[in-house]
Amino acid sequence: MQKNPKIAIIGAGASGCFAALQIYEELRGLCDIKIFEKSKEPLAKLKISGGGRCNVTHNLFDPELLSLRYPRGNKELRWAFESFGPNDTINWFKKRGVALKAEADGRIFPTTDSSETIIQCFLEELKLKKIPIHFEQGLVGIYANHTPNQDSNQKTGFRVLWEGGIEENFDIVVVATGSNRKVWSILEKLGHTIITPVPSLFTLTLENTDLMELTGLVIPNSEIKILPKGKPQKGPMLITHWGLSGPCALRLSAWEARTLFEADYKVDLSVNWIGGEKSQTIEEIYLNKKEKTPGDKLIPDPEWKLPVRFWDWILKESKIQPNKRYSDISKSEIRNLSLTLTQTKLRMVAKGVFKEEFVTAGGVSRKDIQFQTMESKQIPGLFFTGEVIDVDGITGGFNFQNAWTTATLAARGIRKTMVT
What per-residue confidence (pLDDT) applies to 2?
Answer: 67
> What angle (nearest 5°) sits at the alpha carbon of residue 95, between those of residues 93 and 97?
70
The domains of the chain are located at 6-199+357-418, 202-353
What per-residue confidence (pLDDT) applies to 51?
Answer: 86
What per-residue confidence (pLDDT) applies to 359?
Answer: 85
Q: Which residues of the chain have pLDDT under 70?
A: 1-2, 146-156, 354-358, 420
pLDDT digits (tens, 9 = 90+) for 76-119: 999 999 999 999 999 999 999 999 999 999 999 999 999 999 99
What per-residue confidence (pLDDT) applies to 352?
Answer: 87
What per-residue confidence (pLDDT) applies to 354?
Answer: 63
What per-residue confidence (pLDDT) applies to 151?
Answer: 46
What per-residue confidence (pLDDT) applies to 353?
Answer: 72
* DSSP-derived secondary structure letter, 297: B
What per-residue confidence (pLDDT) applies to 419?
Answer: 73
Asked if residues 250 and 256 have their Cβ atoms less than 8 Å apart, the reply is no
Q: Residues, the chain, total?
A: 420
Distance of CA 360 to the CA centre of its chain: 8
Is omega for the bond preceding 228 within 30 degrees of 0, making it cis? yes
What per-residue confidence (pLDDT) applies to 152?
Answer: 46
299 phi and psi angles, rounded to 5 deg: -135, 160
What per-residue confidence (pLDDT) applies to 78?
Answer: 97
- Say which CATH superfamily domain 6-199+357-418 falls into: FAD/NAD(P)-binding domain (3.50.50.60)
63 phi and psi angles, rounded to 5 deg: -55, -35
- Quote the CA–CA distance of 312 and 306 in Å, as a whole number: 10
What per-residue confidence (pLDDT) applies to 357?
Answer: 53
Helix spans in 228-277 (H):
246-255, 257-262
What per-residue confidence (pLDDT) applies to 156?
Answer: 66
Asked if residues 261 and 337 have their Cβ atoms less than 8 Å apart, the reply is no
Asked if residues 344 and 273 have their Cβ atoms less than 8 Å apart, the reply is yes
Number of helices (H) and strands (E), helices first, in the chain?
A: 13, 21
Span between the terminal Cα atoms of the chain, in Å: 6
